Amino acid sequence: MKKMFSVLVLIPLLIGCAPSPTTGIGSNCDSLQPTAGDVQYALDFGKDLFTEAVWSQSYTVRELDAVVNRTHRSVSALADISLLLFCNENGTGDLELFYNNQTVQEGFSNYQNASVVKSCQQDDLFLYEVSGAADGVEYSIHQWVQTLSKTRVLTVVTVFPKDEAALDEKYSQTLFPKLPACP
């Protein structure tokens, strides 16, 4: 009887811990607000890697994007996962206007001496490797940009101190095993 009780108590707990079925990301722009599926996709991306014990998390939902911000609890490291909506008539067809070496470098202008060191592409995944500094600390910044649909783009930014290269490599390899770094 005790074993039966344990099983009955554990089943709901195990079901609650199992990943929920992924709500699909939006496929159109009926609204300029991200769908519940868009928000959940951003929240779920890398969630097994960005554990609550190691990373604090917050998120924001605005018109045309859902952004999950993560801050490492013991290392001066950040990660941002964004799901962006492209709702003009070209959709993601003009992605290179928004993501290229110049615009990416400008996007990190809050870092001192920010510069794109390398950029590369594999299929629909782009990677920009940026070097920058803040408060006397040199940082290695990676920005991945991946087209998910004609109206949705995933961007992932990781920022690690250069002296945490092994940790940076671990996260890059786990997040995007097919393109963790530019050759």
Distances (CA, A) of 60 to 42, 64, 155: 10, 11, 15
Which 3 state secondary structure label does DSSP give 57?
strand
pLDDT at 96: 84
Residue 145's closest CA among 72, 112, 96? 96
Which tops the pLDDT comparison, 88 or 3? 88
Confidence of residue 23 (pLDDT cuts 50, 70, 90): low
pLDDT in tens, 33-45: 999 999 999 999 9
Q: Which residues, in sequence order, are CB contacts of 95 under 8 Å at separation 6+?
A: 86, 145, 147, 153
Q: Is 63 exposed, middle or buried (0-12, 13-18, 19+ CB in 10 A)?
A: exposed
- Contact between 27 and 149 (Cβ < 8 Å): yes
Amino acid at 129: E
Kindly state the tokens that stand for 135: 């408060």
List domains and CATH numbers for the chain.
Answer: 33-175 (3.40.1000)
pTM of this structure: 0.84
Residue 86's closest CA among 8, 162, 153, 31? 153
